[in-house]
Structure 1
């Protein structure tokens, strides 16, 4: 799903945190690195014309919140992580649309691979 017309975007790429998510006991016990990409869609006009942080999304706060989800209580699936994060993004009042990709580069896959990820996109509309 592309960014809806009329919205600007803020991107956070490559947020890294260690989490204990997965269906296998060793994933929960040992943990692994997760990488998250976030895009939020909003109208930046009020913030840009007023030079007002309160009228936009503080990406430092959002990054910390995403980090806290990854390092928080374990979940079996990265699909669950992605949905929790997209809901978090949409909880910020200016955000009208959000896309979250959760990468699990150390996934327990028995063949050579570069990455596995799940992407979810949602809007308030």
Structure 2
């Protein structure tokens, strides 16, 4: 991470979605949990104590949950990419790391969690 880049982290956002490749997943749905680490420069916001100069994490959280609960996709990789796009649409956000948890994945052996993590940045954004 380059100097001057800060992070706002949203952990454990939950929504019920119909994502998956199997018919049962598309009909019954399941809970998806998302962590989003927004990379941005918060100095101007802190200096002026001004929400307009940073990412409104409450608004971002609502948008992310709407995507989780919205249009289904087959892969959680696709879901992660959609979530990253939402975060990068915020003017303050320069880069984002998204982790999608699928704790109820249709796996036939005991497991705790399945996750996909991606990092995306705006062109010319954070290193």
CA distance in 2, matches of 1:37, 1:121: 12
TM-score (structure 2 length as normaliser): 0.94
CA distance in 1, matches of 2:82, 2:2: 21
CA distance in 1, matches of 2:2, 2:19: 32
For the aligned residue pairs, the C-alpha RMSD in angstroms reads: 0.8
TM-score (structure 1 length as normaliser): 0.96
Aligned length: 123
SS of 2:65's equivalent?
Answer: helix
Q: 2:120 aligns with which of 113, 119, 122?
A: 122
Q: CA deviation digits over 1:38-83, x for unaligned, max 9?
A: 0000000111000110100111000000000000011000000000
CA distance in 1, matches of 2:29, 2:101: 14
Ranges in structure 1 where 5+ consecutive residues have no aligned partner: none
Instruction: Please name the residue that 1:43 is paired with.
Output: 41
Instruction: Please name the residue that 1:98 is paired with.
Output: 96
Ranges in structure 2 where 5+ consecutive residues have no aligned partner: none
Shift of 1:87: 1.1
Instruction: Please name the residue that 1:74 is paired with.
Output: 72
